[in-house]
A = this chain, B = another copy of it.
Amino acid sequence: MKRALGTCYYPEHWPRELWAKDAQRMVKAGLTWVRIGEFAWKRVEPRPEMFDWEWLDEAIDVLGRAGLSVVLGTPTATPPRWMLDRHPDMLAVDAEGRQRGFGSRRHYCFSHDGYLDECRRIVTLFADRYGRSPHVAAWQTDNEYGCHDTVISYSSAASKAFRRWLRERYGTIESLNYAWGNVFWSMEYDSFDQIDLPILTVTEPNPAHSLAFRRFSSEQVARFNRAQVEIIRARSDAPISHNYMGRETAFDHFEVGRDLDIVTWDSYPLGFLEDRAGVTVATQRRYSRQGDPDFQAFHHDLYRSAGRGRWWVMEQQPGPVNWAPHNPAPLPGMVRLWTWEAFAHGAEAVCYFRWRQLPFAQEQLHSGLQRADLVDAPAMAEAEQVARELADAPDVAEAQAPVALIFDYDASWAWEIQPHGAELSYFDLVLDHYRALRRAGLSVDILPPTGDFDGYRMILAPGLMHMSDELKARLMACGAEVLIGPRAAARNEDFAILRPLPPAISGLDVLVSRVESLRPELTRSVSGGGSIWGYSEDLEGAAEVVLATTEGAPVAMRTGSVTYMGGWGDEELLDRLVSDLAERVGQGTRRLPEGVRVRETGTERFWFNHTDQPVNTEAGPIPPAGVLREPLG
């Protein structure tokens, strides 16, 4: 498939006389997509039910006539101030019990039905007006669900909706009490109306209570998004997308993705390195101007899966951002590298955010392809270079990866609720496995637990705290080399420990008899190299011991092609495990220089040098921030 470039543009921010000039410059740069509209509610509906469509009509027309395809965003992430007069209780309430205020964005509670109706109303108007526009070639619902910690709200709207949700899920209060083990501390309820949100309890709430609330909160996002999708789909043939954020785990992106045609995400490598990649300060220093070598790729693969193959980068960092603890400029070449990396992972489009740096308001220090004075910023040349390269080069052909890695939002919530050790997070556990696969030069597909396992040689599924019987059976039967654990199937659906003890997988004689968490520096050495840190399990059973501590305690056990890993492996141990599994299936691996990463498509092998030094690879030398395309046989 042909790949494309684009940008995010806000006609309402700029004088009307600039629009045509901007559109021409975009086209000249080789961009074909332009996203607009997602924060413009107030300009379209200045007063309740009084509209001004004229400017948006013209903006779409000007852009479209210049040859650009428009992604039109619904403006529901930024309800105008007058909305609060109609729905004073629509604001979210935070974990301290404080109602959030107006004056930025995302100031709504997903459970507020009154606001949801307003969104249905405005989206209907957008879709009615532009659903058949020749220029509107795609839609975006809202903007960055979950950004700024906005999924979870403790409002009274959420409280009421949660009670309804519980009643539907559990039927009777007795079954809820039983499922949650509320007998524990006399926490049994007499009716659903007694159940509060899990906030400000004296010590931690029942983890079953917390998990239910996390699931509910995630479903509220899906419900909110679905309401928009249904309206647009009835009125337009253009594909519908939403732009996810990085390391946003408060809602299930697979579930929301099922309602979308295209999943997009907003990729800010330097900002993420500073505020969420979860790396050491040493790594933050080394990659300060390049970003983490795996963090973006992980999201590319994750969201490709959430989009069932169709995905974009909707916002690509083009220079310093405004919101991280430190905001350096990228190393020259990195904007090009990030763009090609997205294509190598199958992106259909990469859009730079934003077209032009804005001289006012919250993001005034967020760079763009142009500076605030209308001059091209350094990223423009790199975007233009990619546009030329796209024109000259063969299309990127996606191919199934040899390895599948499972990511489960439900498991992430469970680990967040009960990490057991202060440093432990499911996201980091999965990312550690992803890093090990990438260090071995392997391409990876990321799947939900419900994913199709056909055709994979290796399947890694670390940390799945709950596993359905069906999932267990599918993993046992899939034929791939499978790695599960630690904490595999450690809880039932309602956060209770199973009896027989976990993982309780038929055909795998392994039992976790005890779990412990360790101070980070108190590792358990493994015979042959590497260590367990942080989380460690005592294993019993008749399965073969394939890894053991230097004192002889089992660390990993295996029956047939399924390996259970009883702890959190460090880099060396995960590298050993990946090599071992790959060898068992005859999958070749390579040892890559630090900071070099490889991604194979159907026809090419892409090499990326994330370091600021030239490197030599088997495919040849690569300059700093360099990209090398190696045709495959």
**Contacts from A to B (Cβ < 8 Å):** 12-13, 39-43, 46-47, 75, 78-82, 92, 94, 96-107, 147-148, 150, 180-190, 194, 196, 198-209, 284-285, 288, 319-320, 322, 325-329, 357-365, 367, 371-375, 377-378, 418, 420-422, 494-501, 513-519, 521-522, 538
Contact = CB atoms under 8 A, between A and B. Distances in A.
A79 B202 CA distance: 13
A496 B204 CA distance: 40
Given A13-B184, A99-B200, A186-B80, A320 B362 contact: no
A373 B498 CA distance: 8
A373 B522 CA distance: 29
Specify how many copies of this chain sit in the oligomer: 3
Given A325-B422, A326-B518, A522-B285, A185 B501 contact: no
A184 B326 contact: no
A185 B363 CA distance: 10
Contacts of A374: 499
B418 A360 contact: no
Contacts of A363: 184
Contacts of A522: 285, 288, 328
Contact of A39 (B82, B185, B359): B185
A202 B378 CA distance: 32
Nearest to A424: B326
Given A184-B39, A186-B43, A522-B288, A326 B202 contact: no
A519 to B, nearest CB: 5
Contact of A186 (B39, B183, B362, B421): B39
B199 A497 contact: no
A194 B42 CA distance: 14
Contacts of A189: 81
A364 B497 contact: yes
A184 B143 CA distance: 14
Nearest to A190: B82
A103 B205 contact: yes
A367 B357 CA distance: 55
B209 A103 contact: yes
Given A103-B187, A184-B358, A365-B420, 9 more contacts: A43-B186, A92-B202, A180-B360, A320-B514, A320-B516, A326-B517, A328-B519, A359-B499, A364-B495
B373 A500 contact: yes
Residue with the greatest number of chain B CB neighbours at <10 A, chosen from A198, A418, A516: A516
A81 B514 contact: no
Which of A99, A180, A422 counts the most chain B CB atoms within 10 A? Answer: A422
A325 B206 CA distance: 18
Contacts of A513: 371, 375
Contacts of A500: 373
B41 A201 contact: no
Given A101-B201, A201-B100, A203-B148, A181 B360 contact: yes
